[in-house]
Structure 1
Amino acid sequence: MLLENKVVLVTGASAGIGRAVAIGCARHGADVAINFGRDTAGAAAAVAAIEALGRKAVAIQGDVAEPATARAFVEGAVAALGRVDVFVNNAGICPFHAFLDMPAETFERTMRVNMHGAYFMVQAAANQMVKQGDGGSIIAMSSISALVGGEYQTHYTPTKAGVLSLMQSCAIALGKHGIRCNALLPGTILTDINKDDLADTGKRTYMEKRIPLGRLGEPDDLVGPTVFLASDLARYVTGASMLVDGGMFVNLQ
């Protein structure tokens, strides 16, 4: 119960990594507020799973691309659960597209969700933590894509590099308030974002062969690293980045 009696907020938590992390934090004793965009049924299912573990949960709808959503999410979470101890910025999109004919709206939407959304969400959570006066932990889901390129991800990889950089700068800006800021860099995780891309069995097999642990990741693989960074076990860890990729990055040669 590493997060007993803590309140954890997770963005983009109606499915995938966000949902797994939200439920995983509840297993470790946390009450959880989740942000979701459109998947009402998924959000309700996540809340039900958290409550089944004996913890409190609330789902608050909002588009993270809109700055006002960040304030509404944090204020709603505090109203329902009392405070913010841990904030997990997870919401993100990756509509695969070639570079030379990238539509401006696709680039801009990806930037607004992944980068602008992270900035304003983290800012809102940090302000609440400063107001509370007893520190906290902020964790952002960056990606292995912050470190490597992708032919159909020229709009996506810069946002993930930006999220990594945001955590490094926030670690400096917020350290004096006792707020730790760290980034997780997942490798290829089986989620809705890449299900169409990995429907190509040849590509999936190729990807699996590049991973030393021999398999693609699952959303639950991010739970342990998140709980660690959220907990007091990581009380002297800030400004750090952790690859959660089955060894893929070190095998890219």
Structure 2
Amino acid sequence: MTHTVLVTGSSRGIGRAAALRLARDGFDIVLHCRREAGMAGEVRKDIEALGQQARVLQFDIANREQVAQVLTDDIEAHGTYYGVVCNAGVARDNAFPAMPGDDWDLVMRTNLDGFYNVLNPLIMPMVRRRKPGRIVTLSSVSGLIGNRGQVNYSAAKAGIIGATKALALELAKRRITVNCVAPGLIETDMVDDLPVEEARKMIPSQRLGKPEEVAAAISFLMSEDAGYITRQVLSVNGGIC
């Protein structure tokens, strides 16, 4: 039996890399995008070329009612997911005194409320499945140690860690593991506007990470071998403390 995994924010970046890695590992994939349907469609073709099934869902993870409707309709049509990768998120960086309230709200609604919006409709179907399951959330090094200019992003990503650990306790007896991956600076478009050369000096490994390296961590936590690992945060950051 082939398991199905939902990967949010999977049209590009870490989400795309995770979807492709999981497909190579033998999972069917439910892709998600907010606007980039064409890009998600290309990822779907790549997954199908690997011999796995894929479909694309389109919704805004900050829109609670829309998320619940789309996900409920999908599992009614295709069955409950084995795993979920909560990857989708946004950043709006600024010094805190100059941070507009709209940027604070957008980051919180998308990154932290998105945890609730995506997982809440899926938990009971996963429990009723009565089989092992996997949930992997994406935090950030900013959620662990904070980062200048990212008070909103750091707060949301720290909140994801707390929510992940609490949900792991609730689901442990159900054989559903809940873990978090916390990337550092990764070669995606989210770092395009950052002073990368200055940041590189702060990384013990002296380089940015690759999306595929984060995807490998996600893949391990999604595997059968990780069945006794839950409530953990796995940092993929080149040694940043």
How high is the TM-score relative to the length of structure 2?
0.95
Is 1:132 the counterpart of 2:166? The answer is no
Determine if contact 1:58/1:80 at 8 Å carries over to the other structure.
no
SS of residue paired to 2:145:
coil
1:234 to 226, 231, 236: 226
Matches within 5 A, 1:196-211: 196-197=193-194, 203-211=195-203
Report deviation, 1:70: 3.0
SS of residue paired to 2:38:
helix
Residue 150 of structure 1 corresponds to 147
**Higher alpha-carbon deviation: 124-133 or 36-45:** 124-133
Residue ranges of structure 2 left out of the alignment (5+ in a row):
none
Residue ranges of structure 1 left out of the alignment (5+ in a row):
198-202
Once the two structures are aligned, what percentage of the paired residues are identical? 34
1:32 to 8, 26, 29: 29
Report deviation, 1:120: 2.0
Determine if contact 1:33/1:77 at 8 Å carries over to the other structure.
no
Residue 13 of structure 1 corresponds to 10
Alpha carbons of structure 1 residues 139 and 114: separation in structure 2 relative to 1, 3 Å: same
Determine if contact 1:35/1:73 at 8 Å carries over to the other structure.
no
Report deviation, 1:81: 4.2
One-letter code aligned to 1:239: R
Determine if contact 1:11/1:36 at 8 Å carries over to the other structure.
yes
**Higher alpha-carbon deviation: 22-31 or 169-178:** 169-178
Q: Distance in 2 between matches of 1:213 and 1:99?
A: 29
Q: Could you report, residue by residue, the CA deviation over 1:130-175 in whole angstroms, capped at 9, with x for unpaired residues?
A: 1212131100001111112222101110000000111100011111
SS of residue paired to 1:100:
helix
SS of residue paired to 1:44:
helix
Alpha carbons of structure 1 residues 163 and 180: separation in structure 2 relative to 1, 3 Å: same
Alpha carbons of structure 1 residues 80 and 31: separation in structure 2 relative to 1, 3 Å: farther
**Higher alpha-carbon deviation: 13-22 or 64-73:** 64-73
Aligned residues: 241
Alpha carbons of structure 1 residues 73 and 18: separation in structure 2 relative to 1, 3 Å: farther
Q: Distance in 1 between matches of 2:81 and 2:69?
A: 13
Report deviation, 1:80: 5.6
Residue 161 of structure 2 corresponds to 164
How high is the TM-score relative to the length of structure 1?
0.91
Report deviation, 1:219: 1.0
Report deviation, 1:194: 2.0
SS of residue paired to 1:156:
helix
Residue 63 of structure 1 corresponds to 60
State the Cα RMSD in Å: 1.5
SS of residue paired to 2:189:
coil
Report deviation, 1:89: 0.2
Q: Could you report, residue by residue, the CA deviation over 1:158-197 in whole angstroms, capped at 9, with x for unpaired residues?
A: 0000001111000111112221100001000121222122
Report deviation, 1:97: 1.5
SS of residue paired to 2:96:
coil
Determine if contact 1:139/1:181 at 8 Å carries over to the other structure.
yes
Q: Distance in 2 between matches of 1:128 and 1:165?
A: 23
Determine if contact 1:167/1:183 at 8 Å carries over to the other structure.
yes
Report deviation, 1:65: 0.1
Flag as ranges the 4+ runs of structure 1 deviating above 6 A.
none
Q: Could you report, residue by residue, the CA deviation over 1:86-122 in whole angstroms, capped at 9, with x for unpaired residues?
A: 1000010001112112111111111000000112212
Is 1:113 the counterpart of 2:110? The answer is yes
Q: Distance in 2 between matches of 1:57 and 1:27?
A: 12
Q: Distance in 2 between matches of 1:111 and 1:173?
A: 23
